[in-house]
Amino acid sequence: MTRSALLHPTLKDQYGNPLINADRMAPMVAGWAIQIANKIPDIMSTLIEQTVEAKTALHLAVEGIGENAEKLKPIKQEVINELRGLRMTTATEVAAMLKPLEDIRKFFLGTEHDKEITRLREFVDLCERLEKLKQSGFLDTVADTMLKLS
């Protein structure tokens, strides 16, 4: 498009058809701007009212927080003591649980693991043999004999 086409009041496309008539468009856009500008005082007035209402509500809320904070001060130390007690109890319980877990860990990961497993198997075998002897009545006979000898 040439410079002269831009300055001409009627803009045309590549085929010569008019696109926008600047002489007709400018007053229409100016009218819209004036309408919007006339609404600004009403909009601002509404916004100012809402701001004042929000400020009042915020002021009341802050006052309410201050009053409630004063009511909470007497029980604050009691709550702190309860929390400390809970923390100490939790720490004690966790320490009590960790000791057996540490022993189990040492059992499975320690250098004596194989020897301990062998001893455990021997103990279980011994318990099973004693159970069989008890079922057969042999242990009762031995106990009766020991009582008679004593």
In the chain, what are the domain boundaries?
A: 3-110, 112-150
Rounded CA gap, 77 and 69, in Å?
Answer: 13
Query: Confidence class of residue 8 from pLDDT cuts 50, 70 and 90?
Result: low
- What is the predicted pLDDT for the residue at 111? 81
And the tokens for 126?
A: 């011994």
Alpha carbon 22 to its chain centroid, in Å, reads 60
Q: What is the mean pLDDT of residues 7-34?
A: 75
How many angstroms separate the Cα of 1 from the Cα of each of 17, 22, 25, 41? 13, 16, 20, 42
Q: Are 107 and 113 in contact (CB under 8 A)?
A: yes
Return d(Cα 17, Cα 5) in angstroms, integer. 12
For residue 53, the model assigns a pLDDT of: 95
- pLDDT (tens digit per residue) in 31-46: 888 999 999 999 999 9
pLDDT of residue 24: 74
Phi and psi, residue 12, nearest 5°? -125, 155
The pLDDT value recorded for residue 5 is 45
The label of the residue with tokens 């809320």 reads 61
3-state secondary structure of 1: coil
pLDDT score for 6: 47
State the SS3 of 8-52. Answer: CCEEECCCCCEEEEHHHHHHHHHHHHHHHHHHHHHHHHHHHHHHH
Please state the pTM of the whole predicted model. Answer: 0.32
| Two tokens, residue 32 | 């819209």
Confidence of residue 137 (pLDDT cuts 50, 70, 90): very high
What is the predicted pLDDT for the residue at 47? Answer: 92
14 or 50: which leads in pLDDT: 50
Is the per-residue pLDDT at 1 higher than 60?
no
